[in-house]
């Protein structure tokens, strides 16, 4: 999992480490992997 995140061309902003963590995060976050946040704020740092 760590190697995949480090070598991914576009890694997820949030990476859950288990099915439980994914289900728990789903209660709090509408954007589970952070992709929407990255799209929204990506231009701010360019």
Residue 7's pLDDT is what? 92
Assess contact for 22 and 32: CB atoms under 8 A: yes
Per domain, the residue ranges of the chain are: 2-44
User: Which residues have CB under 8 Å from 11's CB, separation 6+?
Assistant: 5
42 DSSP assignment: G
Residue 46's pLDDT is what? 63
Residue 14's pLDDT is what? 80
| Residue 15 CB-half CA count within 13 A | 11
pLDDT values of the chain reduced to their tens digit, one per residue, 46 residues = 788 888 989 888 788 888 888 887 777 777 878 888 788 788 887 6
Separation of alpha carbons 39 and 32, rounded Å: 14
């Amino acid at each position: 999992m760590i190697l995949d995140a480090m070598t991914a061309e576009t890694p997820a902003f949030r990476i859950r480490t288990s099915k439980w963590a994914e289900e728990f995060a789903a209660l709090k976050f509408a954007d589970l992997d952070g992709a929407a946040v990255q799209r929204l704020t990506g231009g701010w740092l360019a």
